[in-house]
Amino acid sequence: MATERDGARTLCAAALVALLAISLAACGGGGQLPTLSVTGSQTASSASSSASQTGAGATPSISSPASALPMPTLPNIASMLSGKVVAWGDDSQKQTDVPTGLTGVVAVSAGDQFSLALKSSGTVVGWGSDDSGQIDVPSGLTGVVAISGGGTHSLALKSDGTVVGWGDNTNGQAAPPAGLSNAVAISAAGQHSLALKSDGTIVAWGGNANGESDVPAGLRNVVAVSAGNDFSLALESNGTVVAWGDKFPTGVPTGVAVVPAGLSGVKAISAGYADNLVVKSDGAVVGWGADDNGQTDVPNSASGVTAVATGGNFSLALKSDGTIVAWGANDQTQASVPKGTIGVLAIDAGATHALAIVVQE
């Protein structure tokens, strides 16, 4: 865990704030870290394109192209700031036991009960639950520029625009479609996966019991994607969000795939287990969906935010000053950010644990 830093270190971290947005935008993936490249975490991740609700789930209408947000490109990890990993919350599967000596990390992604880290060398390290091989990084995997951990499977985006998956493949979620290329961002969730291509279109695969892999026809000009447990989000270049999925067998959706009316000017998205968070261009955070633990009750302190991450029933926001705000369930201390955690470069949230990259001393 990070410790208290003196005033000089605080000033040093503040000086890095101007570079945080560049680093975060490149981290992508994760799922959930829903920034303009995509993770993560797992990550991390909106004006509705007039999404309407039907008995079968949300049916979005596609908005016209706009140029407010830049079209995505492959993350350039060589330009990212790197650091060390801080983890907190549930450790029942050793998901917060960061490997000794792990440094030079440019991205993190929290799966359900496991964790992934991307090093500046383009290699991946995993720890935590391994019941489905989700932390068994394929031998020889290099050239990785983004990562995303799902329920029990993992994805890696390579510098050549191809995607590699491993772990649970019961529904094909760890097997990217043959011929998938030109990917620039990825997101893995419970049983499905998403890839954003350089032309602003989306490819989805894996589970589809609730329509989570049914990408709306005609959806393009997308700059970020985020996979939720049984639904999906996409951020369009005009700052609006499209949602789909959440089609339960009863025909009674939860509303998590219905974007709030009038929401606009979004710059980052994060889909969770049953809730969503988005960051607006003014640094404000908007949440919707499940709120049984207050996970979508955004606190006033979550202002000047650059990235958000949705956990199982808690939420994280990264502020422009390099600090983290957390709220929602805290039964596993998942919403208790370790004291002295400053100079934060990236965040992600799993089921009941959280990850952050902090500036290396």
Question: Using H for helix, E for strand and C for coil, what is the string for 215-260?
Answer: CCCCCCCEEEEEECCCEEEEEECCCEEEEEECCCCCCCCCCCCCCC
Which tokens in the block code for residue 197?
């291509």
**What's the average pLDDT block by block, 10 residues per block, for the chain (361 residues)?**
35 36 37 34 32 28 53 93 97 98 98 98 98 98 98 98 98 98 97 97 96 95 96 97 85 81 96 96 96 96 98 97 98 97 98 96 72
Sign of CA dihedral 93, 353, 137, 81: negative
Q: In whole angstroms, give the CA distance from residue 285 to residue 282.
A: 9
Give dist(CA 118, CA 124) in Å, integer: 5
pLDDT value of residue 76: 94
CA 31/CA 131 separation, integer angstroms:
20
Note the pLDDT of residue 252.
59
CB neighbours (10 Å) of residue 23?
Answer: 23
The whole-number pLDDT of residue 206 equals 98
Total residues found in the chain within this entry: 361
Where do the domains of the chain lie? Answer: 7-359
For residues 32 and 134, give the distance between their C-alpha atoms in angstroms, rounded to a whole number.
15
Chain centroid, CA 23 distance in Å:
14
Q: Kindly report the CA angle at 98 between 191 and 92, in degrees rounded to 5?
A: 60
Rounded to 10 degrees, the C-alpha dihedral 203/357/325/97 comes to 100
As given in the structure block, the two tokens for residue 173 are: 């979620």
Distance of CA 236 to the CA centre of its chain: 16
List, as one string, the DSSP characters of 344-361.
Answer: EEEEEE-SSEEEEEEE--
The span from the CA of 234 to the CA of 256, in Å, is: 13
Distance from chain centroid for Cα 240: 17
Is the domain defined by 7-359 classed in CATH 3.30.160.270?
A: no
pLDDT of residue 10: 35
- Residue type at position 85: V
Residue 233: what pLDDT?
Answer: 98
